[in-house]
Amino acid sequence: MSMLETIKATHMTDTESSAAGRAAGRRPRMPRRRWLLPVAVAACLVSVGVGGSANAAVPTAAGILQAGAQQGIADGYPGVIGLVRQGDDVQYVHAGVGDLSTKVPADPKAKFRIGSNTKAFTATVLLQLEGEQRLSLDDTVARWLPGAVNANGYDGTKITVRQLLNHTSGLPEYAGSAQVSVPYVANTNPRQAWAPQTLVDIALAQHAPNAVPGQKFSYANTNYVLAGMVIKAVTGTDAATEIQRRIIEPLGLRDTSFPTADPALYGNYLHGYLHPVTFYTQDVTVSNVQTYGSAGAMVSTLDDLAAFSRALLTGRLLAPAQTVELKTTVPMDSSGTAEYGLGVEHLQLPCGQWGWGHTGAVLGYLSNWLSSEDGTKQVLYANSEFHLIGGTRGQLDTGKAAINAFCAL
Active site residues: 116
Q: Which amino acid is it at 324?
A: V
Among candidates 362, 371, 403, 378, which has minimal Cα distance to 38? 403
Contact, 70 vs 95, CB < 8 A? yes
Q: How far apart are CA 55 and CA 37, in angstroms?
A: 26
Q: How far apart are CA 18 and CA 33, in angstroms?
A: 15
Helical residues (DSSP H) of 172-290, grouped into ranges: 178-186, 196-204, 221-235, 239-243, 249-251
Q: How far apart are CA 92 and CA 108, in angstroms?
A: 6
Residue 249: count of CB within 10 angstroms of its CB: 12
Q: CA-based Rg of the chain, rounded to a whole angstrom?
A: 20
Q: How far apart are CA 232 and CA 366, in angstroms?
A: 28
DSSP 145-179: STTSSEETTEEGGG-BHHHHHTT-S-PPPSTTSHH
Q: Please state whether beta strands 112-113 and 150-151 pair in parallel, antiparallel, or not at all (unpaired).
A: unpaired
Dihedrals φ, ψ of 365, to 5°? -145, 140
Q: What is the DSSP letter of 293?
A: G
